[in-house]
Structure 1
Amino acid sequence: MAPFQPRNPDAPVCCTCGTQYPSNTSPSFTTLSSLLSSDSHYHNVFTPLSHDPEHFISIHTEPKVAIGQRAILVRTPAGNVLWDCITYLDDETVEKIKGYGDLVGIVISHPHYYSTHVEWANAFECPVYLAAEDKKWIAVPLGEHQSFLDQTVTSISGKNGQDIGVKALKLGGHFPGSLVLLYDGRLLLADTLMTTPAGMGKWNVDAKGNTRNKPPGLNSFSFMWSIPNMIPLNTEEIVHMWDVLKNYDFRSSHGAFTGQDIEDEGVKGRVLESMQIQIRHMGYPQHALLKETI
């Protein structure tokens, strides 16, 4: 196997978001070649998800690059899909991912995670799926592997064109084309739905092993237009997200960062409850979504 060679190793990479750009002289930029230098000590960590280690593997970079988001490798019998993208890519990462089987596609949730996706697509010679609505945020020249999704629901195909059971669902909200990914009852969120600290709480049992109920009014997810500026989505966007999600069943959710995994057969109800909490506290106590049930 030929060593991984970046096509544009000296193209600037934003130190804040990790996205590769064609040119910039700002001191807040680095390059992929700098990250790959022998004294950089960067490496990617592969961590199988504890509840389904055979099919889902979390990948993140240490030391942290940009905001430290993760990608998730989704393994299916008919080919694998990479959910979201991280900036750091080296020969070891390419070999390890190929060792798990063919990568038939990369699906990126939204522009904050575009990172070095052209390098990834070239390395694996597979399509990278991006929402058509977010095309204007692409910073690097378009490549032959980029595929733009126009539909609300897209079934990702294997190399022979077969349906492998992986669906990209376009919810919008955080960005006009923000996506989530669904496979085998597991919903991969990025921060299209933002997993909250309350959502990570173990509300069914306390430290002494006693069962307890989650206190009322605590959400599991928030729905944000701008996360750094804490600006929530408007009610219409939240309703649109639910109109898509309510048609699918899922038993777990997996957020943008390591550890943001909620294993709960009732997690779909927690999504709806979180939407209702946010809409109610935004000043709409009579909104129609508050009457929705699972």
Structure 2
Amino acid sequence: MSLTHYLCVTCGAQYEASAAPPSSCRICADDRQYIGPGGQRWTTLETVNAQHRNILELVAPDLYALYSTPHFGINQRAHLLLRPEGNILWDCISNLDASTRSLVQALGGISAIALSHPHYFSTLIEWARAFDAPVFVNEKDAGWLTRTGPEVLTWNGRENLGSDVTLIECGGHFPGASVLHWNKGGGMLLSGDTIQVAPNRSSVSFMYSYPNMIPLPKRDVEGIRDAVAPFEYDAIYGAFGLYIRSDAKKSMEASVNRYLEVFEAEAPIIST
């Protein structure tokens, strides 16, 4: 019997090998995500390879963004940190082909992979095995893994990946939603969408569900604020090509204060 690792077309998550596709994608069936308007659809990595190409874009010194064209799934970006201690891949994209493997190897390969939250789990086992790298997943979100293996390591709270990189558990979007702090230059946060950079590139937001527009409660916003407060950073790199390149900590603080003011505001009086 032939077994296939099916990928969800809507979110790009790859599932354990099976003879037939799962009945539905449990990541997309969750109220943070959605089943596509055409219903549940499946594909394979081989098909994605044939229809998409990856771009590696230098977005800052020693920092590359990786993304697919035309876009696939959620259309997030992964980021590759080039470090003397070993390169780190922050988040994953579903498409992994021979060209990408060759280009990443030419940049020094990958010594570790870390994920911000389940929406970007994608083909993480394929990436881990292609580069012989461990995958760090917050233990609060490990139950969302659609494919796993001995490469997956769990952590909580904070986790140091060398002398200059720290994973920070923030919660909010998912219980284990995290960001990565890189102590390089003035410091930077790679935020996935645990902290979402806004199109104005000078503010951020925080949501339980972005596609379904469900906000987070006050306590979760405060929790994210408190988790990153001890760290110095001048830039924030989000998951969709939106970056705050200077004064990012001030932008974060101002955005949190603006967000919390909404909770303190009195309800408008509606006349009848």
TM above 0.5: yes
Distance in 2 of aligned mates of 1:137 and 1:98: 29
Distance in 2 of aligned mates of 1:176 and 1:25: 25
Asked if 1:255 corresponds to 2:238, the answer is yes
Superposition pairs for residues 111-126 of structure 1, below 5 Å?
A: 111-126=118-133
Shift of 1:147: 0.5
Residue 86 and residue 252 in structure 1: after superposition, are their counterparts in 2 closer, same or farther (change >3 A)?
same
Q: Deviations over 1:70-89 (max 9, x none)?
A: 11000111110000000000
Q: Counterpart in 2 of 1:244?
A: 227
Superposition pairs for residues 87-106 of structure 1, below 5 Å?
A: 87-106=94-113
Aligned AA (1:154):
E
Stretches of 4+ aligned residues off by more than 4 angstroms: none
Aligned AA (1:16):
T
Shift of 1:10: 3.3
Q: Counterpart in 2 of 1:71?
A: 78
Distance in 1 of aligned mates of 2:133 and 2:110: 7
SS in 2 for 1:103: coil
Q: Counterpart in 2 of 1:16?
A: 10
Contact 1:173 1:225 in 2 (8 A): yes
Q: 2:249 aligns with which of 245, 268, 283?
A: 268
Distance in 2 of aligned mates of 1:257 and 1:273: 21
SS in 2 for 1:282: helix
Aligned AA (2:251):
R
Give unmatched runs, 5+ long, in structure 2. 24-39, 267-272
Q: Counterpart in 2 of 1:31?
A: 44
Shift of 1:269: 1.6
Distance in 1 of aligned mates of 2:45 and 2:199: 33
Q: Deviations over 1:108-140 (max 9, x none)?
A: 100000000011101111101000000111112
Q: Counterpart in 2 of 1:195?
A: 197
Superposition pairs for residues 51-62 of structure 1, below 5 Å?
A: 52-53=60-61, 55-62=62-69
TM-score after normalising by structure 2: 0.85
Shift of 1:244: 1.5
SS in 2 for 1:95: helix
Contact 1:10 1:32 in 2 (8 A): no
Distance in 2 of aligned mates of 1:36 and 1:280: 46
Root mean square deviation of aligned Cα:
1.7
Q: Counterpart in 1 of 2:29?
A: none
Q: Counterpart in 2 of 1:153?
A: 158
Aligned AA (2:152):
Q
Give aligned pairs, total: 243
TM-score after normalising by structure 1: 0.79
Deviates more, 1:77-86 or 1:234-243: 234-243
Q: Counterpart in 2 of 1:281?
A: 262
Distance in 2 of aligned mates of 1:120 and 1:284: 46
Contact 1:168 1:182 in 2 (8 A): yes
